[in-house]
A and B are shown apart, each in its own frame.
Chain A
Amino acid sequence: MRAIDVVGSAIGNSFRSRLRTTLTVLAIFIGAFTLTITNGLGTGINAYITDTVASIGASDVMTVTKVSADAKATGPQEYSPDQITSRAAAGPGSTTVAAITPADLTTIAAIDGVTSVEPSLSVTPDYVTTGTSKKYRLGLGSAVAGVHLQLAAGSQLDQKAAQLQIALPVSFVTPLGFTSSADAIGTTVQIGVSNPAGTVNVLNATVVAVSEASLGSSGNATANTALTQALYDASTSGLSTAQKESYSEAVVRFDPSSTDAQVTALKDHLTSAGFTGQTVADEIGTFKSVIDAIVLVLNAFAVIALLAASFGIVNTLLMSVQERTREIGLMKAMGMGAGRIFGLFSIEAAFIGFLGSAIGAGIAMIVGSVVSTALSGALFANLPGLTLIAFTPVSIITIILIVMAIAFLAGTLPAWRAARQDPIESLRYE
C-alpha cells in the first residue's frame, strides 16, 4: 500500500464512526484549547515584559553602584559623609551605597569588558509648564543611554544632540493644554529645578516625544543627555566640585554582542573591584521567571487534560480495532503487511489528535484575541501595548505537533494490536 493511501484510508476510517470520533476530538479539543490559551498568556505577558525591557533600558547597559565598605555588617552602620541614599534603588526601603567619585569612574572604565562609563545623574525637577498652563510636578525617569520609549507620538530622544529634549508621558498632554499627543511635539516647555540653596532655575526643553505609560516609564518624563546634564548642573549649582561629582550610580556600557557568560564575567570583575553591576534583564528577569513558572503550572494542567484525552483515543481505537477485526484480517490475508496496518491505526490516532488540536488551537486563538482585545480596552487600559494573550505561529505549530505526538503514542497500543492480529483468527466464521 502506498503511504499516501495509508494516510488517506486512515483519515477516511476516522470519519466512519462519526459520533465516537467527534467525542474523542472534543476531549482533545479541551486539552489543546487550554494549552493554547495558557501558552498565549505566557507569550503575551512575556512579550510585553520584553518590550518593556527595551523601554527601560538598552540591553548593553549595566547600572553600577559602589558597595559601601560596611554594607555587609549587620546592625546600625556607621555614618560616613561619603554615603548617598540611592533614590533609584528599587524595593522596600532604600539602600545605602557609597558615592561614586570620578576616581571610581576611572577604575570602572579600566575594568575588562567595560566599553564606557558615565555617571548616572539623578535630578528631581520641581515642575513643568508650557508657560501658559499651570505648573505640574514632574518626575524624571533616569536617562539611561539607549532607552527605547514606547511612543504615542514623536520620535526617540536624541542622546547626542545638544538640544535640550524631553519626552513627556501621555498623561501630561491634556493638563498642559495640548489638544493631542501630536500637538505637543515640537513645542517648548519650561522646567523648573531648584538648587540646594533654594533658588529655582528655569530651563527650556523641546518636547520631541510623548511616551505611553508602561511598566517601564510609570508616568515619568524622560530627558535626553543634554537636558539631564543641564538640569543636574542647575540643581547642583553652588555646590563644591567634590559634591557635584559624587554620584549614586554609574552607567556602564558593554559590548552588545556579549554572551551571558561574558556579562557574568563583567559583573564578577565589578564585584571584585568593589562595585555591583545589574543589567536591566537582571531586574526584569525575576519577574519573567515568575510568569514562566505560572505558565508552566497552567501548561501542566492542560497536559493532564490531554493525557486524559489520550485515554479516550486508546479507547476509541481499541473499539474500532475490535469492530474492524474482520476487515483487518481480510487486508492481511490479501497481503497487507503488519507495518502498514500499524500505520493505518496510528495515523488515524494522529489525525484525531490533529483534528482536536487544530480546532482547539484555532478556537483558542479566536477566543484569546477577543478576550485580550476586550481586556486591553477595559482592565488593562492603563497598560497600552499589553496583549494579554498572544500567539506565535511557532508555538501553535508546536502545540499541534505535541498533541499529535501524544495521540500517536496513544494510538500505538491499538495499532499494535491490529498489526499482530492473526488473519485466520479474524476471518473465522461464527
Chain B
Amino acid sequence: MSHPILAAYDLKKSYGRGQNRFDALKGVTLEIFAGESVAIVGKSGSGKSTLMHLLALLDKPSTGTVQLGGSDTATLRGKRLNETRNKTFGFVFQQFFLTPGASVLENVVLPLKIAGVGSRGRKQRGHAALERLELDDKARSKANALSGGQKQRAVIARALVNDPRIIFADEPTGNLDSATGAIVEDILFGLNRDQGITLIIVTHDEDLAERCDRRIYIRDGLVVSEEARVAA
C-alpha cells in the first residue's frame, strides 16, 4: 500500500500542568489511507475529540507527529496551516454551527469565501454542493428555517463544497432522530464510496461505527483495538 493520507505516530496530549496535568492522549499511533472510512469509537471522555482535533490540525500534540500525505505537519504554521486545513478538510460537527440569519447558500459557501474564491465561483459551487444533497431549493432560505435533517445536510454540503480529501465528522448523527440520522449516514458513506473522500467519524454509536471500513477503539487516551469490517 502507498503512504497513508493521514497518520499519527505516538501522539500524546496533556492538558494543564503540575498537579492539574491531565493526559488526554497517551501515545496514539494510527494510519488512515485515502478513500477509507474510519470510525474512532470510545466512551465519553476517552479522548476521541482530542484525537480528531489533532488529526485535523486544529491543535498541536504535546509530543508525537501527525503526517499529512506523508509529510510532517509540525512545521505548518500560520497561513500555510490555514490553507492546508481549508483545502484538505471538511468538518461536520455534532452541532450544526450554521449562521442562523444567513441564507443556506451563504452558510455553505463559507469555506470558499475563506479560500478567496470569487463570488461567482462561490455561487456556482455552492449550488452544485446543495444539489448533491438535494437541498438546492432551500438555497435562499434562512438557515434557521431548516429542519434538523436539512440543517445537517447543509452542514455536509458546506463540508464538501471545497472538494476536501478528508471529511471529519464528530458525532454527525448525535443530534438527529434515527431516521434522519440514517439518511445523513447514507449521504456520508455515499460521498466516501462515489467520490473517494476519506471519512473519519468520531462516534460512540456502534451502529454507525459498524458501517465504516475500520474502527479504532480508544480508551483512556490509548488505542485499545482496531478492527476492519467483517466482510459481509
Residues of A within 8 A of B (CB): 1-2, 5, 9, 16, 326-327, 329-331, 333-337, 340, 423-424, 427, 429
Contact = CB atoms under 8 A, between A and B. Distances in A.
Given A327-B99, A424-B53, A429-B94, A335 B58 contact: no
22 contacts: A2-B113, A2-B118, A5-B116, A5-B119, A327-B99, A330-B91, A330-B110, A333-B58, A333-B85, A333-B91, A334-B85, A334-B91, A334-B111, A335-B83, A335-B85, A335-B114, A335-B115, A336-B82, A337-B78, A337-B82, A424-B53, A429-B95
Contacts of A329: 97
B40 to A, nearest CB: 16
A334 B58 contact: no
B200 to A, nearest CB: 14
Q: For the complex, would chain B's binding face be called helix, strand, loop or mixed by DSSP majority?
A: helix
B58 A327 contact: no
B57 to A, nearest CB: 9
Q: For the complex, would chain A's binding face be called helix, strand, loop or mixed by DSSP majority?
A: helix
B111 to A, nearest CB: 5
Given A333-B56, A335-B114, 5 more contacts: A1-B113, A2-B118, A16-B101, A335-B83, A423-B58
Contacts of A337: 78-79, 82
Contacts of B78: 337
A331 B110 contact: yes
Interface in B39-94: 53, 56, 58-59, 78-79, 82-87, 91, 93-94
Interface of B: 53, 56, 58-59, 78-79, 82-87, 91, 93-95, 97, 99, 101, 110-111, 113-116, 118-119
A329 B115 CA distance: 16
B59 A335 contact: no
Contacts of B58: 333, 423-424
Contacts of A327: 97, 99
Nearest to B113: A5
A331 B59 contact: no
A424 B50 CA distance: 9
B68 to A, nearest CB: 14
B97 A326 contact: yes
Q: Shortest 8 CB-CB distances between A and B: which pairs?
A: A335-B86, A335-B82, A335-B85, A336-B114, A330-B97, A334-B111, A2-B116, A337-B82
Contacts of B114: 1, 331, 334-336, 340
Contacts of B91: 330, 333-334
A423 B79 CA distance: 15
Residue among A5, A334, A340 having the largest count of chain B Cβ atoms under 10 Å? A334
Contact of A334 (B79, B110, B119): B110
Contacts of B82: 335-337
Contacts of A9: 113
Contacts of B116: 1-2, 5
Contacts of B93: 427, 429
A396 to B, nearest CB: 32
Given A1-B116, A335-B115, A427 B97 contact: yes
Contacts of B85: 333-335
Contacts of A1: 113-116
A329 B101 CA distance: 17
Contacts of A340: 114
A334 B59 CA distance: 13
Contacts of A16: 101
Nearest to A427: B93
A329 B84 CA distance: 17
A331 B114 CA distance: 8
A331 B101 CA distance: 16
A424 B58 CA distance: 7
Nearest to A330: B97
A383 B95 CA distance: 71
Nearest to A9: B113
Nearest to A428: B49
A296 to B, nearest CB: 44
Contacts of A429: 93-95
Contacts of A336: 82, 86, 114
Residue among B58, B78, B83 having the largest count of chain A Cβ atoms under 10 Å? B58
Contacts of A2: 113, 116, 118
Nearest to B111: A334
A5 B99 CA distance: 16
A411 B112 CA distance: 26
Contacts of B99: 327
Contacts of B83: 335
Contacts of B97: 326-327, 329-330, 427
B122 to A, nearest CB: 9
B86 A334 contact: yes
Contacts of B110: 330-331, 334
Contacts of A423: 58
Residue among A5, A329, A330 having the largest count of chain B Cβ atoms under 10 Å? A330
A337 to B, nearest CB: 5
Contacts of B87: 335
Contacts of A424: 53, 58-59
